A = this chain, B = another copy of it.
Amino acid sequence: MKSVEFGTYIKIHREGKGIPQRIVAHALNVDTSTLSKMELGERQILITMVKPLAEILDHDFKDLQIRYISEKIKADFNEQPFLKEALQMVIDNI
């Protein structure tokens, strides 16, 4: 999986479908200004927005959620020596 920032990924796919920010922003109940910032990484994209994003962009929800979560985890815990063990522990407890 290519590691492009989530906001950038959304932007690329939105543009690929020729959908203006106006439409996506409305689906997320935010301003186009906010969406612009989210795409540029200046505002957080909430996990609750992943589903509506998948729908409006007609994109696989599973893929999008995996991208979202894995990026957050890398951002928060990269470099932590026992990250792998911690993740394995969570997996084993699901």
Could you list which residues of chain A lie within 8 angstroms of chain B, going by C-beta atoms?
A: 1, 47, 62, 65-66, 68-70, 72-74, 76-77, 80-91, 93-94
How many copies are assembled? Answer: 2
A interface, over-half SS: helix
Q: How far is the CA of A28 from the CA of B87 in the complex (A)?
A: 26
Assess the A80–B47 pair: CB atoms within 8 A: yes
Which of B69, B76, B86 lies in contact with A82, CB distance below 8 A?
B69
* Residues from chain B with Cβ under 8 Å of A74 in the complex: 90, 93
A94-B89 in contact given A73-B73, A77-B69 (Cβ < 8 Å): no
Shortest Cβ distance from A53 into chain B, in angstroms? 14
Assess the A62–B91 pair: CB atoms within 8 A: no
